[in-house]
Each structure stands twice: as C-alpha cells, then as structure tokens.
Amino acid sequence: MKAVGVVVEYNPFHNGHLYHLQQAKEQTGADVSIAAMSGNFLQRGEPALVSKWARTRMALEAGVDIVFELPYRFATQHAETFAEGSVSILSAAGCDTLCFGSESGDLESFHNTIVFLEENHEAFQEKIKFFTGEGHSYPKSLALGFQSLAPSDSFIDISRPNNILGLHYIQAIISQKSSMKPETITRKNAGYHDEHFASATIASATSIRKALFGTAGEIGTIKQYVPETTYEQLINYKEHYGGFHSWENYWPLLKYKLLQSTPSELKDFYEVEEGLENRLLAAAGSSDSFQQFMESIKTKRYTWTRLQRVCLHILTNTRKDTMKTNQKTVNYLRLLGATEKGRSYLNSIKKDLSLPLVAKLSGFTDPDIELDIKASKIYALGQSGKGQEQLLSEEFGRPPIMLKS
C-alpha cells in the first residue's frame, strides 16, 4: 500500500485542510494518508482550540487514515526542529511521499533555494548576524538576509511561513537520508495568518479561531468554512468540556508562575534569553490579561510566536536542560487514531517498523512521553469541573480512536 504523509495541527480542521488532503492523495496516488499531528500545544506557542483527541477525530472523519502525535519536544519548537520531528515520524511510518502546502507551490524552486543556501552558507550566516544585530527578529533577519543576497525569481520567498516549513521538511528528508519524496501543493485562497474570512468557503484557522472567540462567539459563523464533521465536533466539544481553549484560560496560571519566580529561576526556562526574564517580570504584575501581557513584552526583536513559546515553556515548567538536546528524531510512534484502512496498513508494516508503535501508555516509558503527559495535565487546567476531570483522565485512559467505515 502506498502512503502519503502530511504534517498538521488542524486547529481546527477546515475546508483548506480538506482540499490539501484530497490533493495530496490525488497527486501521489496514495492508498492511505498518514498525519503527524501536534498534541495539545502548538508550534506558535499556544494551546490547541480543542484537544488532540477531538482533532484526531476531525481528521479521521475527513479522510486521514492514521494520526500519530508529534511530541511536545518537537511540536512547540522553531521550524527546523518541528520539521525534523515530523519528517522522522512519517519516514518511520513508511510514507512514500511527504506532501506539504506552500505559498510557492513549485517544488523546483525549493530545491533551487536549498542549493543556493548551501553554496552561500557563510555569506548567509553573516547577513543573518548583521540583521539580528540591527534589532530584527530571527525570522525577519532570515528573510532580509536572503533578499540582500539578491537571488533570482527561481527561489522561494522565505518570508512566507509555509514556504519556510516546506524548506525545512526537504532539508530534514535530506539530512535524515529518508526515502520519502517531497511534494507540494499551493495553498488555496486564505493566507496562514489571515484574521478575516477571505472567501465564501476557504478561511485560515486563525480567522476561524478569531470568530469563535469574538464578541458574538457563535459557532454558526464558521459553518461554511469547515466540513460538517468538524462543525459537529466543535459543538460537541463545547458542550462536553465547557468551552474552547485559548491563552486567556491559562493566564492566571502563567501570572502566578511568573510572580512567584525570581529572574534567575526564569532564566532556566527554555527560550528565555538575553535578559527577557526581567521584561517578563515587569509586565506580569501590571497585566490583567494574556493579550495585555503580550502587548507589554512585544518588541521588534522578538516575534509574537517566539514570546508565546517562551510563555508556554514557563507554564509547563519546561527547562533548558530538558529541551536542549542533540535529538533530531522521535523515539516512538504514538498512535492517536486510525480508520479501518489505516489499521490494515499498520498491520501490513508492523514487523518492519524501525520505532516502537505505542497505542497505550501503560508499559512504555520515554522522556518525551513524560513531557507530553505533563503538558496534557496543564492543558486540562484550561477547563474546570467535569471538563477538566475528563481531560485529565484521557491521557492515560483513552485508547486510540478507531473509526469504522
């Protein structure tokens, strides 16, 4: 059976994701689709709108055949590490192709860019160093440095988020000597960070979340932008767990953690660098919401995403000695869910898997599993009452979701 892999967050699964999934299957001729999906906390340093289990069901009902969890260690990192973990999962799962969405949509331009960067590595690093010294954020320095080397139109625009991820996917495939082939599909209509609905049926996950947390807060406003199965899952989640997750749910916990910490203690948390601990402490006491806190600490040097990741690692008590390792690949494949076709595929390759297949946490230990368990406990605190109790019990008690035809 031929398998295509996708790297996803599905926060939540929407019509753009459905288009990408369908095109990935069609372009590659795959029999099954496999997703490496972030857990309860995401690459931009924020809690997922709904839990990984709800998002797994959204994915399976929309046509994904197998969902594996991308561990916290990789899911909440910068693009390069995020890509390395994702590629290692899909490669170990036997995917023939990794199909990613991009603003470019042209695979040749990705390869041209990789060759250009390899040939101009030292000059590029000097440019990055120059622009970061000018006070720009690292992602902005990358884009400015690349532009200053005057590449031609045959290269990708590395200021675009999905192009950057795609570049790192291909580089990870090369560095890991994976047999997977990359394939890309042009993103349809909505941009990654678009905050407003851009068409009648396609909207970014950002704009969908904004609508759900807006003044109206009505789920009905996003109905035309998501599959019916996603819409039903969102309604069910709100009813069963008490609401959706946003950073504001966790602000009291983060504020407490900040105010009871000393500057030297904050410096131990992952990604807290260059005196940032003092800025965090100064803003914590005078901020009444997470939004206000973020606006107080935001500078030209640090992106909103980077600062959210800093906050996330403080919230989850994740320190430098935990995250700063030479680990480039995952140690296991944690199964979150599968369709009947997906189970048939797993049965056919089980003996050839290079990594342990984890369906239940009992009897399996690993530092990354422990980190995921801790993160899931913190995620559960974003709800109260029975919703919190149910989320706390799911990490250990819930088996993978097995969707019948």
Strands 333-339 and 66-70: antiparallel
Judge whether 16 is annotated as a binding position: yes
Q: Binding site annotation covers 4? A: no
145 is an annotated ligand-binding site residue? no
Q: In this structure, what is the dihedral angle of CA atoms 253, 255, 259, 265, given to the nearest 10 degrees?
A: 70
- Annotated binding residue 155: no
Burial 233-250, CB ≥16 within 10 A → b, else e? bbeebbeebbbbbbbebb
Q: Pairing state of beta strands 333-339 and 357-358?
A: parallel
- Do the annotations mark residue 345 as ligand-binding? no
Alpha carbon 226 to chain centroid distance? 19
The region, left, alpha or beta by phi > 0 then psi within -120 to 50, assigned to residue 135 is left
- The answer to whether the annotation marks 32 as part of a ligand binding site is no
163 is in an annotated binding site: no
Amino acid at residue number 125: Q
Token representation of residue 254: 């983060």
47 is in an annotated binding site: no
Q: Is 11 annotated as a binding residue?
A: yes
13 labeled part of a ligand binding site: yes
CB atoms within 10 A of CB 54: 22
**20 labelled binding-site residue:** yes
Q: Are 62 and 229 a contacting pair, CB within 8 Å? A: yes
Output DSSP code: residue 110.
H
> Does 101 carry a binding-site annotation?
yes
18 among annotated binding-site residues: yes
φ, ψ for residue 195, nearest 5 deg: -100, -5
98 is in an annotated binding site: no
Task: For residue 162, say whether it is annotated as part of any ligand binding site.
Answer: yes
337 is in an annotated binding site: no
Annotated binding-site residue? 9: yes
Alpha-carbon distances of 206 from 13, 145, 193, 197, 379, rounded to whole Å? 11, 28, 6, 10, 20
Token digits for 283? 């803003």
> At how many degrees (to 10) do helices 290-297 and 304-315 cross?
120
- Specify binding-site residues: 7-20, 101, 162, 187
Binding positions for ATP: 7-20, 101, 162, 187
